[in-house]
Structure formats: structure tokens, C-alpha cells
């Protein structure tokens, strides 16, 4: 079949229409996806840089979840220490009541209540875990703050205590008749009061340590949240499209397409006018 010859004017208008159609398709794709860089073909540098930023943000997001769980574990331990401190203070009150009493019956009653408080202290310590991790029952906790490994890894190791074990706070139950009136009983009460004072000091020191650890983890948690936002904003600035700009561009292209179609029609009519001469 013989080739159809197209005039220069018609060919120029066809090329213009094709280019406009391609540009409209690209603009419509940007508006549909919200991105000006959808693949490495659009802009390799921006595409791979944004991918790297998003990958790091994703890694930090995983660590952020772990930090959140670590915060809850520390809060559970802190609540446990607060409750144990209240029980130790109640136990100290029982020992003081026994010291002020001259009745063996009353002292035996106070000793029984004291022993029950010690049992509850162990119970609270055993129940202060979170998701299988209990800092008051000898478990330790390690929190990772960045996605790096080796010497560049940043983490915090938190050591637990064993308040759930017998005598962990150097507190022992009172044997039958251990607090009876007399020099031996009075001395035993004084020893108990001394042990309770030491236990309270230990509890307050441990609470301060856990509080410091909690502050560190929460600060790193907030820092990581802000870092993730920074990384994502940086990635978005490289690949996201400006919807206002793309919308205006599409409107201009539609106008250009309409004008090109009109020009093509006029060029065709010019050729038809030449035919009429024959």
C-alpha cells in the first residue's frame, strides 16, 4: 500500500497533539497518585533517596513500638514499687504497734498481720510484670534506640530486682512468740523496725533508678517520633506532587489540546480548499 503523504502543517499539529496528550497523561497520573516521582524512571536520584529515607523511618517505627512496650514495663514495675512501699510502711506501723503494746495476745496479732503483709509484698512483686517481663522478679530489660548494629548501636540495659523472692528486702516473717514481751521480743521488734527502714530506703532508691530509666526511654521515644516525621517529610518533599500546580498544568494542557485540534482542523480545511480547485 502506498504511503499517505501528510502536509507539513497537518504533521506539525499531529505531533503537537501527541505531545500534549502525553503530558496530560503524565499530569493526570501525578494527580491520581499524588506523586511527581512514581518510579526510578521519573527521577532516579529523588526516587532512591526518598526510598532510603522511608526505609529508615520504617526501621525506627519498629523500634518505636519496642520503646513503647519498654515504657509500659517500667511503669508496671513503678506501680509495683509504689504498692510495695505502702505495704512496707503498713508493716512498720504494725511493728510500732507491737512495740507499744504490753500484751502478748496483741503482739501475736500484730505479728500475724505483719507476716500477712510480707506475703502480699511478694504477691505484688510477682504480679508487676508486663507481657512476660517483670523487673521486680529478677528480669532485665534492654531497649534499643537506633537501627544500627555493632559499636554504633545505641541501647539501654535495665537491671531488675528480686522482690518476689523470700527475704529479697531483708524482711523475714516473725516466728510464733517472736514478738512476745520481754527483752528478746523487744530486741526482735527493734531489729524488724531497722530492717523495714532499710527496705524503705532500698525501695525509694530503686524507684528513683526506674524513674530515671523511664525518663530516658520516654525522651528517646519522643525523639524517635520526631525523627520519623522528619524523615517522612523529607521523603515526601522529594516525590510528592503539588496538586495545585498539577491542576493548573492540566487545565493549560486541555486548553492547548483544544487549540491544537482547532489548528489541525484548519490545516485540513486548507488542503481541502486546494482540492476544490480541481
At residue 1, the pLDDT reads 46
Q: What is the mean pLDDT of each run of 10 residues along the chain (278 residues)?
A: 56 69 70 74 86 91 92 95 95 94 92 93 92 92 88 90 83 90 91 94 94 95 94 85 68 69 62 54
At residue 6, the pLDDT reads 58
Taking CB atoms within 8 Å and a gap of at least 24, the contacts of 103-106 are 103/181, 104/177, 104/180, 104/181
Whole-number percent of the chain with pLDDT over 90: 51
At residue 252, the pLDDT reads 73
Q: What stretches of the chain adopt beta strand conformation (E)?
A: 141-144, 155-158
- For the chain, state the CA radius of gyration: 39
At residue 93, the pLDDT reads 95
* pLDDT tens-place string over residues 137-183: 999 999 999 888 788 889 999 999 998 887 778 888 999 988 998 88
What CATH number does domain 44-264 carry, 1.20.1330.10, 2.40.110.10, 3.90.420.10, 3.40.640.10?
1.20.1330.10
Amino acid at each position: 500500500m502506498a504511503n499517505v503523504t501528510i502536509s507539513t502543517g497537518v504533521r506539525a499539529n499531529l505531533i503537537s497533539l501527541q505531545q500534549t496528550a502525553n503530558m496530560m497523561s503524565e499530569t493526570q497520573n501525578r494527580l491520581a497518585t499524588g506523586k511527581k516521582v512514581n518510579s526510578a524512571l521519573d527521577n532516579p536520584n529523588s526516587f532512591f533517596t526518598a526510598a532510603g529515607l522511608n526505609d529508615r523511618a520504617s526501621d525506627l517505627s519498629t523500634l518505636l513500638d519496642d520503646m513503647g512496650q519498654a515504657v509500659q514495663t517500667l511503669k508496671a514495675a513503678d506501680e509495683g514499687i509504689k504498692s510495695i512501699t505502702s505495704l512496707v510502711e503498713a508493716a512498720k506501723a504494725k511493728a510500732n504497734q507491737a512495740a507499744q503494746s504490753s500484751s502478748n495476745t496483741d503482739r501475736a496479732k500484730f505479728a500475724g498481720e505483719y507476716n500477712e503483709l510480707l506475703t502480699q509484698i511478694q504477691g505484688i512483686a510477682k504480679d508487676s510484670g508486663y507481657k512476660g517481663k517483670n523487673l521486680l522478679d529478677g528480669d532485665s530489660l534492654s531497649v534499643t534506640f537506633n537501627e544500627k548494629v555493632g559499636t554504633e548501636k545505641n541501647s539501654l540495659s535495665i537491671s531488675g530486682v528480686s522482690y518476689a523472692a523470700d527475704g529479697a528486702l531483708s524482711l523475714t516473717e516473725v516466728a510464733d512468740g517472736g514478738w512476745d514481751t520481754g527483752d528478746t521480743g523487744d530486741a526482735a521488734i527493734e531489729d524488724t523496725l531497722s530492717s523495714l527502714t532499710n527496705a524503705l530506703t532500698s525501695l525509694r532508691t530503686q524507684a528513683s533508678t526506674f524513674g530515671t530509666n523511664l525518663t530516658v526511654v520516654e525522651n528517646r521515644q519522643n525523639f524517635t517520633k520526631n525523627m520519623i516525621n522528619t524523615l517522612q517529610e523529607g521523603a515526601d518533599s522529594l516525590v510528592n506532587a503539588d496538586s495545585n500546580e498539577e491542576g493548573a498544568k492540566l487545565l493549560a494542557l486541555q486548553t492547548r489540546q483544544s487549540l491544537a485540534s482547532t489548528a489541525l482542523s484548519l490545516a485540513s480545511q486548507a488542503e481541502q480548499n486546494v482540492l476544490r480547485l480541481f
